[in-house]
A and B are shown apart, each in its own frame.
Chain A
Amino acid sequence: MSVAGNGSRPVIEYLSVYKAFDAPVLSGVNLSVQAGEMFALFGPSGTGKSVLLKTTLGLITPDRGDVRVAGESVYFGGHRSIERIRDKVGYVFQYAALFDSFTVFENIEIGIPEDRLSRMSRAEVRRNAWESLELVNLEPAQVLGKLPAELSGGMKKRVGIARAIAGRPEILLWDEPTTGLDPVNTAAIERLITQLSEELHVTSLLVTHDVQGGLEMCDRVAMLEGGVLRFCGSPEEFRESDDAVVRAFADREAAIAALDVLDVR
């Protein structure tokens, strides 16, 4: 399935992306995400969603195919191209991936692109970190000097988001941002994702297992299964799909029925 959106211009394009580790993970994924769009990618565990997300920044190199971000090729554009792409993209990691030996301030500071950071005064960097923390609803005065080990799981996620937005990116990639959180924190982070996407006018690509949250937040959704796109469309189309596997992600009864279809023991 090759899927392009209907919007203005594509800012992320996956062009026949293949990747195998011990076994094939991605088997020719074609997908594009439009400017300003909120896009959710669902799929069973281990189906390659995070791998696909990592190819966007060159963190994992595909065996075949290419990824284009804001018109630039990640794999055929050279070193400068990758640097420009990374300056435009903020990546929120599944478990925040904060640097343990750095304070919250230093963690956020490192999210600012280097050339911009070199032109900023210490006061400006501090103001940026302060604003980034306020955007993720954390109290800057309380957390700026703390180490990640002194924060709760929910606070770490928020600091990870603050680091991703510190460089004021055009694109945000969210790798299962609500994994491991309680329902209240999950709802809070989801509200934050919507709020940040609107306030910062960014394109968001969200990989998540939280299907209901994704369907409520996003303009379009897709489902990756068996290394290929099984579905791509609007949340309404997803809910009304008669594909047993897609339906399994939309409601629990269908999920139980799909165990046989997917041969899950």
Chain B
Amino acid sequence: MSRRSSFVSSPPDLISRVLAALGGTFSSVTEHAGQLGQLVWRMGVAVVRLRVPRRIIFREIRILGMQSVPIVLVAAGLIGIVTSQQGGYQMQSNLPLYIMGSVVVESVVLEMGPVLTAIVIIGRVGARITAELGTMKVSEQIDALYSVGRDPVEILAAPRVIAMLISMPLLVGMANIVGILTGMVSAQYTLGLGSETFFYGARLFWHSYDLFYSLLKALVFGGVIPVIAIHMGLRTTGGAEGVGRTTTQSVVFMTLTILIVDALFPPLFLQ
């Protein structure tokens, strides 16, 4: 039997593979971060130079914002009902029932309203933006814009981000109101808690700052979702299969980012 040559390559060992995976991940993260930073910068420049068509902003507000109202309100209504029911179950015979008012209002305003609205918007708006821009990329529509001397960031990206920055706080505001109202009605029917008692409890722990906190979250989410969706859409390659793959990646990317940003809010703004 001949001895194997020392030049014959062997499969990489575990440490090499782990290091390669870490290197690949780091490279991918920095590439995304760099491209996202560049996208945000170019959008900022477009806004400052007043090069974002207002007509397209209004159209995007209608498509991305106004058309999202029904699904956001349905989700918010269900959130209010669930919060109220589960809160009532946990507090049975332990705490005074008027506390339910505070539990529902604070849960909806501080957390459920902004975060679940963001999750709904990721599915309805974020996925749509990525799929739309991805299709435009693979069907040469982005090239066509460049060929006529137009910047896709000014025409496609900035209007969508501005539209979402305007729409998201309004959607979250509406979601908060509907969530609180359905929570109150639910508490009335299942726990026998009157609306006056409900709002008495709500006022006990209410701070005006909570509303600012909720709307600030909405504003940040309203920026994060379209920026990631646009970034992923403009990276799409590989035809219809590529559009599907990128849209899935984009939804995962947006969802994780929203949850991470949400986790950063309390230490940054509630201390």
Contacts and interface: CB of A to CB of B under 8 A. Distances in A.
Contacts of A58: 146
Nearest to A60: B143
Interface in A28-77: 54, 57-59
Contact of B143 (A59, A101, A113): A59
B139 A86 contact: no
Interface string B128-157: 000010011001110111111110000000
A86 B148 contact: yes
A59 B139 contact: no
Nearest to B51: A114
B143 A93 contact: yes
A135 B149 CA distance: 22
Nearest to A110: B148
A86 B141 contact: no
Interface of chain A, main secondary structure:
loop
A114 B149 contact: yes
Interface string A90-114: 0101110111110000000011011
B146 A110 contact: no
Question: For chain A, which range describes its interface: under 10, 10 to 19, 20 to 34, or 35 or more residues?
Answer: 20 to 34
27 contacts: A54-B143, A57-B147, A58-B146, A59-B143, A59-B146, A83-B149, A87-B149, A89-B147, A91-B147, A93-B140, A93-B143, A94-B140, A95-B139, A95-B140, A97-B141, A97-B143, A98-B141, A98-B144, A99-B136, A99-B141, A99-B144, A100-B135, A100-B136, A100-B141, A101-B132, A110-B148, A114-B149
A154 interface: no
A163 interface: yes
A223 B140 CA distance: 24
Contact of B148 (A54, A95, A100, A163): A163
Contacts, number: 50
B148 A167 contact: yes
Contact of A97 (B132, B140, B149, B150): B140
Contacts of B139: 95, 97
B150 A110 contact: yes
B144 A91 contact: yes
B237 to A, nearest CB: 11
B146 A111 contact: no
Nearest to B140: A97
A113 B149 contact: yes
A114 B140 contact: no
B56 to A, nearest CB: 9
A149 to B, nearest CB: 12
B150 A114 contact: yes
Nearest to A82: B149
Interface string B153-174: 0000000000000000000000
A86 B151 CA distance: 12
Contacts of A163: 144, 148
A29 to B, nearest CB: 20
A110 to B, nearest CB: 6
A97 B148 contact: no
B146 A57 contact: yes
B146 A97 contact: no
A110 B144 CA distance: 10
Contacts of A94: 140
Contacts of A57: 146-147
Q: Which of B135, B136, B141: most chain A CB closer than 10 A?
A: B141
Given A99-B136, A110-B150, 4 more contacts: A93-B147, A97-B139, A97-B141, A114-B150
